[in-house]
Structure 1
């Protein structure tokens, strides 16, 4: 089973520099969910201090990859086969938190969903779902 420190190290060793530039922190990981947070910075905010959709979609995808790892009990390569992101409200504030979970895991495909909230007021800003192919 993965712990947050090990998962964080795996993120730093295996994800592209532009994903790491979001400064994601894995705050929780287990068989039921993974929780990641990013700070709201000027690099990802557009007019009005609102976090751009690309950063939110990346956070959702990355969080769901770690939800897959939590479900599998180890970090294994998965490929995103589809990703749907629904933007609900302006993402501004101090941080954005994404809670992701696998809703069904088969032999080759994993189905996941994620909810993103802004902090500190915990307003939902986006929801996402994705399918991942387990590349073993």
Structure 2
């Protein structure tokens, strides 16, 4: 049975490192296929160009996919990122952005996913593909 948004939100402090917790990700929705998160664009994540740094976007994408896989699996199981490829399409500014992670295929040992990050105006700002090893 998939985990819901509340289950995943409660899991964040138990599973992720303190600096990931500091991103203040909010799980908006979750089902067996994926999750949608809200990422506040905190001043600590903004670089000299007055837009969110790519490192924060990639960390949010990676975290979103772990949560999506947890929802798909119905629980947390050990996994590790094998590949995370991100294309940045436009700067991310504004108060927040949304991070939507979708599980494309989950096998016994590998899982594949895609993540879209939309800016505060709903425009696609970054797109990632991922591969995870399920341990």
TM-score by length of 1: 0.94
Q: Shift of the alpha carbon at 1:68?
A: 0.9
Tell me the distance in 2 between the aligned counterparts of 1:46 and 1:24: 19
In the other structure, the counterpart of 1:102 is 103
Question: How does 1:1-136 map onto structure 2 within 5 Å?
Answer: 1-119=2-120, 121-135=121-135
Matched residues in 2 for 1:10 and 1:41: separation? 22
Instruction: Judge conservation of contact 2:39–2:98 (CA < 8 Å) in 1.
Output: yes
Aligned length: 134
- Displacement of 1:43 in angstroms is 0.1
Report the TM-score, using the length of structure 2 for normalisation: 0.95
Q: Which segments of 5 or more consecutive residues in structure 1 lack a partner in the other structure?
A: none
1:93 & 1:15 partners in 2: Cα distance?
Answer: 25
Runs of 4 or more above 6 Å deviation: none
Contact persistence 2:30–2:68 (CA under 8 A): yes
DSSP 3-state at the match of 2:111: strand
Q: Any idea what the Cα deviations from partners look like across 1:57-99, whole Å, max 9, x if unmatched?
A: 0010000111111211222221001110111100001101110
Q: CA deviation at 1:42?
A: 0.8
Could you tell me how far apart the structure 1 residues matched to 2:92 and 2:86 are?
Answer: 14
Shift of 1:11: 0.9
Q: CA RMSD in A?
A: 0.9
Report the alpha carbon displacement of residue 37 of structure 1 after superposing the two structures with TM: 1.3
Higher alpha-carbon deviation: 40-49 or 55-64:
40-49
Query: Any gaps of 5 or more consecutive residues in structure 2?
Result: none
Deviations 1:106-132 (A, max 9, x none): 11100011000011x101110001101
- What CA distance in whole angstroms lies between the structure 1 residues aligned with 2:4 and 2:13? 14
